[in-house]
Structure 1
Amino acid sequence: MSTRTTAEAEPGAGDDGDGSGAADGGKAAAAARRREQHGWYFYDFACSVYSTSVLTVFLGPYLTAVAKAAADAHGYVHPLGIPVRAGSFFAYAVSASVIVAVLIMPLAGAVADRGGRKKPLLAAAAYTGAAATTGMFFLGGDRYLLGGVLLIVANASLAVSMVLYNAYLPQIAGPDERDTVSSRGWAFGYTSGAFVLVLNLVLFQGHDSFGLSEGAAVRICLASAGLWWGAFTIVPLRRLRDRKVVREEGPAVSGWKQLIATLKDMRRYPLTLSFLLAYLIYNDGVQTVISQASIYGSEELELEQSTLIVAVLLVQVLAVAGALGMGRLARVYGAKRTILGSLAAWGLTLAAGYFLPARTPVWFFALASMIGLVLGGSQALSRSLFSHLVPAGKEAEYFSAYEMSDRGLSWVGPLVFGLTYQVTGSYRDAIISLVVFFALGFVLLARVPVRRAVEAAGNPVPERI
């Protein structure tokens, strides 16, 4: 079954014969599109605080400490009777959250495209994740299982919401402006992440003056991310609009049948699948670095929590400049070449990270600077490049596959990281194991003829891609 969305405004609608109606209609459509774009930016502004404050900074070290408090004499916890080294529990929980997301995301995308109602599903996913994150206030003692469950719910909800959020990009931005719009969305997200992290740093560093224990300060920081996520989600829900879906053929089918049809349909676009495979691999490395960097800093490099917060804050600030700067580079050299350059930088950064000396914050800050400069741009340009490879009318379904590559199938990296530590007991070995994701992703992306891929999807080819 195929679907299409109705246009923003029919050509010539309201024209009174002298062209003024069409001109006025064009201005109104442009203003409406800008309004939607501004609203779209704010979902990054809302949810990026979770990725920054919760997943990257606080939850990993805190949940690891909670798991260690519940561990037996040999340093193991036993979720569902399975012996797990306490230091690996967080990485395994991240992997589990991704597996749950994989089961839900394709169905959400298929249902959204079939019904043309992305916004209610976006609201449901966003507020489920925000509620789970707010519930992290109640972590403490030896409640590592509660922390694992809340992490799984929040992470899976974020992944589902991003399927629906990303699927708006082809509808609110033309082919030649998507790199810019996507990069601005990431910049909004990193701006909010940096702002809230400054507030977190003030609270964490001054917890004694606020009459709080260190653990209580961390739990407030975790919960505040959930409140922020929920509060600012109101903006995109007010400004984004659903498009009416016109069914061209075939009867209505269930979400799972539509999903199966979508997976079969994707085989018609092998070049789009080739890009997804490359993205799946290199972004698995990106997501693992994001989620495990604080563990590496605290456990292997023996850095204080305040040092980690400052380092991640540095990443947020530089990621704004990186996202916007790489967006400009893409306009000159094309998105593909710019992404390839960022992957080479990622590999070199991890190799340098392996040799960082312990208890030396200045070198960790240098590493954070390198990550910040390539992080936002590589993610933003990958999203905008994929938007050119999506057949019209199938945005949410195809972006569900993209999100499976973004967060959905990014369980292999955390699993490799956790298993490497479980076997070797070294986080240095765990971090260097991630280089292979960037090297292999580079090779696979370099082989994708993106212009032919855009043409094969039936989309206009931008001047630079």
Structure 2
Amino acid sequence: MGVSPGGSVPPSPEENGEAAQRRREQHGWYFYDWACSVYSTSVLTVFLGPYLTAVAKAAADADGYVHPLGVPVRAGSFFAYAVSASVVVAILVMPLAGAAADRSGRKKPLLALCAYLGAAATAGLFFLDGHRYLLGGLLLIIANASMAVSMVVYNSYLPQIAPPEERDAVSSRGWAFGYAAGSLVLIANLVLFTAHDSFGLSESMAVRVCLASAGLWWGAFTLVPLRRLRDRRREPSASSAPAVNGWRQLAATVRDMRGKPLTLAFLLAYLIYNDGIQTVISQASVYGSQELGLSQSTLITAVLLVQVLAVGGALGMGRLARTHGAKRTILGSLVAWTLTLGAGYFLPAGAPVGFFLLAGCIGLVLGGSQALSRSLFSHLVPPGKEAEYFSAYELSDRGMSWLGPLLFGLTYQVTGSYRDAIISLVIFFALGFVLLARVPVRQAVRDAGNPVPERI
């Protein structure tokens, strides 16, 4: 074997082949963010909240209440409660997915099942019209729960396709791909919605087309990761039924985490502050339309601004993490989140410029805070337990993100003010900051049995 002039040994053909295969998988992995992020952007963040709220209000009684399953619910709270219900469903399913992925190593069939179930439910939102708020709530629950479960499998690939020194960059690129896709589709949505008359569509039909197209996009581009990612197969366990194994595995994971209290401490902090992030994402358009009186076109433009800036924000915060460490960068983003929500509380109604400024602030920190949290957690996962630990992570990411929407909905139900509802979310960012600041992440990485990066 030859030696380069600098004295280093050049990589062998086998090492070159492994590096090429790793890059191929990484590129395929990015494309699941490209596929599914359109659901988060166009459906959950922009169109479904205001549209489902309008459908619920059309079906409401004289006092402004709908009665799903006989329970009186203020129509303006129905969307937030449906989001919370979807997360409860995800909580029940995610441990099963994590256990099945770890025991068999066959992650791609699980990813395909969840992705296409969610994509089909999203496409089914085309039929949401009239007084069919219950149909909209049901399809939202299926799509949102499927999205959450698919992310358990998707995130568990990260430690397998990227060595420790690459994970911040790979995770950030994945988020950047997602925000780039969201931007592209939102531009098409904006054209269709604002010029719906030119296309011979009513405003309601234009919204329904935008909702359904997100499901078609999700399904079509999921084919890329399904072709490029590899299964690392293991001998399946025959000890008990998969459902029993799933819950036993979750219990075993929790017991295992008790032996790694610093990993558990990070998850607790992440649970708190990410709950705030997820709630802002899902409820911002409701706040803008119902409290500030902004038009749907203004909301689409604002979210498009978030998407465009989030691409640069995710990559920029990834670079900051290389010099300042992921933990410090995340803490800085939580300060920015708190200040942004405080400013949002005082926004006057009918002020699109102020709303655009807040959207820009959110875009700069949104992708980076999520991407760096994912990559930081990947260092805290014991080798060989990626899917089960990421199942617990996803419970914190999406599975426990019912508290924020529930608080948002309850605050509005009690006060009738979306301003009070939005400012109530500050507690999640403030408490998350305090809890994360107390976690010694370098020691947490060592305790998990992983090499400690130079900057973390």
Coarse TM-score class (shorter-chain normalised): over 0.9
Partner Cα distance (1:255, 1:74) in 2: 44
Partner Cα distance (2:66, 2:12) in 1: 67
The equivalent residue for 2:167 is: 178
5+ long unaligned stretches in structure 2: 2-8
Deviation, 1:264, is: 1.7
Partner Cα distance (2:342, 2:238) in 1: 54
Paired AA for residue 355 in structure 1: F
The equivalent residue for 1:231 is: 220
Conservation of the 8 A alpha-carbon contact between 2:38 and 2:181: yes
Q: For 1:364-403, what aligned pairs fall within 5 Å after superposition?
A: 364-403=355-394
1:89 and 2:78 matched: yes
The equivalent residue for 1:354 is: 345
Deviation, 1:258, is: 2.5
Deviation, 1:263, is: 2.2
Partner Cα distance (1:261, 1:402) in 2: 15
Conservation of the 8 A alpha-carbon contact between 2:323 and 2:455: yes
The equivalent residue for 1:307 is: 298
Query: Could you tell me which of 281, 286, 289 is aligned with 1:290?
Result: 281
Deviation, 1:22, is: 7.2
The equivalent residue for 2:207 is: 218
Query: Could you tell me which of 255, 267, 272 is aligned with 2:263?
Result: 272
1:439 and 2:430 matched: yes
Partner Cα distance (2:419, 2:166) in 1: 41
Partner Cα distance (2:308, 2:436) in 1: 28
Paired AA for residue 452 in structure 2: V
5+ long unaligned stretches in structure 1: 1-11, 13-19
1:116 and 2:140 matched: no
Partner Cα distance (1:453, 1:259) in 2: 21
Conservation of the 8 A alpha-carbon contact between 2:53 and 2:75: yes
The equivalent residue for 2:25 is: 36
Conservation of the 8 A alpha-carbon contact between 1:94 and 1:414: yes
Partner Cα distance (1:59, 1:161) in 2: 21
Partner Cα distance (1:304, 1:447) in 2: 42
Query: Could you tell me which of 429, 453, 458 is aligned with 2:420?
Result: 429
1:243 and 2:232 matched: yes
210-219 or 265-274: bigger deviation: 265-274
Partner Cα distance (1:303, 1:433) in 2: 21
The equivalent residue for 2:96 is: 107
- TM-score under structure 1 length normalisation: 0.94
Paired AA for residue 350 in structure 2: R
Equivalent residue pairs, number: 446
Q: Give RMSD over aligned pairs.
A: 1.5
237-246 or 216-225: bigger deviation: 237-246
The equivalent residue for 1:3 is: none
Query: Could you tell me which of 247, 256, 261 is aligned with 2:247?
Result: 256
Partner Cα distance (1:258, 1:362) in 2: 50
Partner Cα distance (2:51, 2:350) in 1: 19
The equivalent residue for 1:7 is: none
Conservation of the 8 A alpha-carbon contact between 1:170 and 1:395: yes
1:217-237 per-residue CA deviation (whole Å, 9 max, x = no partner) reads 000000000000000000000
Deviation, 1:268, is: 1.4
Deviation, 1:266, is: 1.8
The equivalent residue for 2:178 is: 189
1:328 and 2:314 matched: no
The equivalent residue for 1:404 is: 395
Conservation of the 8 A alpha-carbon contact between 1:282 and 1:437: yes
Deviation, 1:189, is: 0.1
1:159 and 2:156 matched: no
Deviation, 1:246, is: 6.4
Partner Cα distance (1:256, 1:153) in 2: 21
Deviation, 1:76, is: 0.1
Conservation of the 8 A alpha-carbon contact between 1:284 and 1:437: yes
Deviation, 1:398, is: 0.5
Conservation of the 8 A alpha-carbon contact between 2:95 and 2:249: no
Deviation, 1:244, is: 2.6
Task: Determine helix, strand or coil for the equivalent of 2:215.
Answer: helix
Partner Cα distance (2:249, 2:264) in 1: 18
Partner Cα distance (2:103, 2:259) in 1: 19
1:306-360 per-residue CA deviation (whole Å, 9 max, x = no partner) reads 0000000000000000000000000000000000000000000000000001101
Deviation, 1:21, is: 11
Deviation, 1:157, is: 0.1
Identity %: 80
Conservation of the 8 A alpha-carbon contact between 1:110 and 1:262: no
Paired AA for residue 63 in structure 2: H
